[in-house]
């Protein structure tokens, strides 16, 4: 809000080893996350930003997440891709770091997981 400029992750977690430890675990182990883990972490970061007005992702981590996302998006299920798209809408730093080929991969995942009502034919 205008009265409360967006707080950074560090300013909101001073003295909170649990929260700092959690984001550090994500930073260190993001490459080991499967498709569901990537979608869940992105969703969690988006909730922190939207609900608590905390900017939990800086540019360096955003680029790292985009690389992890590109690896995982091809095997995400419909729920995972829905959570990912919702999160990318909230996390400008990550969506801004996503290349056109990254967005193409996300679009392909949406198309792959989309289901048509019975009787409809995909053309």
Whole-model pTM: value is 0.70
d(CA 85, CA 96) in angstroms, rounded, equals 13
Looking up tokens 């990254």 gives 102
Q: What is the pLDDT of residue 107?
A: 92
Phi, psi values for residue 76, rounded to 5°: -70, 145
Q: What is the pLDDT of residue 120?
A: 73
> pLDDT tens digits for the chain (123 residues)?
444 444 454 554 444 455 556 666 677 777 788 888 888 888 888 888 888 777 777 788 888 888 888 888 989 999 999 999 999 888 888 889 999 998 999 999 999 888 766 677 666
CB atoms within 10 A of CB 17: 9
d(CA 85, CA 42) in angstroms, rounded, equals 9
Let me know: does 6 contact 55? Beta carbons within 8 Å. yes
Let me know: does 39 contact 81? Beta carbons within 8 Å. yes
- The residues with which 54 forms a beta bridge, in sequence order, are 7
119: alpha, beta or left? (left if phi > 0; alpha if psi -120 to 50):
left
d(CA 69, CA 14) in angstroms, rounded, equals 29
Let me know: does 1 contact 53? Beta carbons within 8 Å. yes
């Amino acid at each position: 809000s205008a009265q409360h400029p967006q707080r950074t992750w560090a300013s909101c977690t001073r003295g909170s080893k649990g929260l700092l430890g959690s984001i550090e675990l994500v930073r260190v182990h993001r490459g080991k996350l499967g498709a569901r883990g990537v979608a869940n972490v992105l969703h969690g970061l988006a909730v922190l930003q939207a609900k608590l007005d905390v900017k939990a992702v800086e540019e360096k981590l955003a680029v790292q997440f985009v690389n992890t996302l590109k690896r995982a998006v091809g095997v995400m299920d419909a729920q995972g891709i829905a959570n990912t798209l919702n999160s990318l809408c909230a996390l400008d730093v990550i969506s801004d770091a996503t290349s056109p080929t990254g967005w193409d991969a996300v679009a392909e995942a949406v198309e792959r997981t989309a289901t048509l009502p019975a009787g409809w034919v995909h053309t």
